[in-house]
């Protein structure tokens, strides 16, 4: 035992093996780790698309969590749209965009911690807040705008009889 000083108490210190005894050279032990670069959401989405990966794959943990807590799937889709809009600023904006290493994890956290304030839980169900209702209206207007025909008239989507 080696004294630790102060109160006169002693404690046992573990004998540490030398790096060579652990199969690691001293040089490797202090080698810098490869740093994963932070990217903006736009850069990350571009990289994921180029690699053939979905931004939020169907087996992502957020889907299991939302099902477990009863969050409707359309609310999760709305959250993704608002999340993308929030973290993909206008290029003309002087604001510097946020950067993260793991955007999927950031999205999961935003949903779980209700960063976007799109819904509330009342009684036994989730309801959209005013912010959520506005986001849904914007989402619907985008769908309508994207579904316009060549003569700038809305394309009518009809349910087919089964």
pLDDT score recorded for residue 13: 55
- Hey, how many other C-beta atoms are within 10 angstroms of the C-beta on 62? 20
pLDDT score recorded for residue 157: 40
Name the one residue in this structure whose structure tokens are 């990350």. Answer: 44
How do beta strands 125-128 and 2-3 pair?
unpaired
User: Is the predicted pLDDT of residue 92 greater than 70, yes or no?
Assistant: yes
Is residue 149 classed exposed, middle or buried when 0-12, 13-18 and 19+ CB atoms within 10 A define those classes?
A: exposed
pLDDT score recorded for residue 148: 55
pLDDT score recorded for residue 120: 96
Number of alpha carbons in the 13 Å side-chain half-sphere of residue 44: 23
> How many angstroms separate the CA atoms of 77 and 70, rounded?
14
Is residue 78 classed exposed, middle or buried when 0-12, 13-18 and 19+ CB atoms within 10 A define those classes?
A: buried
Both tokens assigned to 6: 């102060």
pLDDT score recorded for residue 51: 95
Mean pLDDT to the nearest integer, 66-86: 95
User: Is the predicted pLDDT of residue 87 greater than 70, yes or no?
Assistant: yes
Interval 16-67: pLDDT, tens: 555 455 454 455 555 566 677 999 999 999 999 999 999 999 999 999 999 9
Contact 118, 132 (CB under 8 A): yes
> How many angstroms separate the CA atoms of 9 and 83, rounded?
56
Instruction: Tell whether pTM > 0.85.
Output: no
- Measured torsion, CA atoms of residues 7, 9, 12, 13, in degrees rounded to the nearest 10: 10
pLDDT category at 6 given cuts 50, 70, 90 is: low
**Domain boundaries along the sequence of the chain:** 41-146
Residues 6+ apart with CB under 8 A from 135: 78, 81, 82, 116, 118, 128
> How many angstroms separate the CA atoms of 107 and 41, rounded?
11
């Amino acid at each position: 035992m080696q004294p630790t000083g102060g109160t006169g108490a002693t404690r046992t210190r573990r004998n540490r093996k030398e790096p060579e005894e652990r199969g690691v050279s001293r040089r490797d032990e202090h080698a810098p780790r490869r740093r994963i670069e932070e990217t903006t959401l736009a850069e990350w989405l571009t990289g994921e698309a180029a690699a053939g990966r979905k931004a939020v794959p169907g087996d992502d943990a957020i889907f299991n969590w939302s099902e477990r807590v009863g969050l409707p799937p359309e609310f999760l889709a709305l959250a993704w749209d608002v999340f993308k809009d929030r973290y993909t600023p206008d290029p003309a904006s002087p604001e510097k965009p946020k950067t993260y290493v793991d955007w999927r994890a950031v999205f999961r956290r935003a949903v779980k911690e209700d960063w976007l304030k799109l819904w509330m839980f009342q009684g036994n169900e989730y309801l959209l807040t005013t912010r959520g209702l506005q986001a849904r209206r914007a989402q619907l207007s985008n769908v309508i705008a994207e579904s316009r025909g060549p003569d700038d008239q809305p394309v009518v989507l009809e349910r087919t009889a089964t």
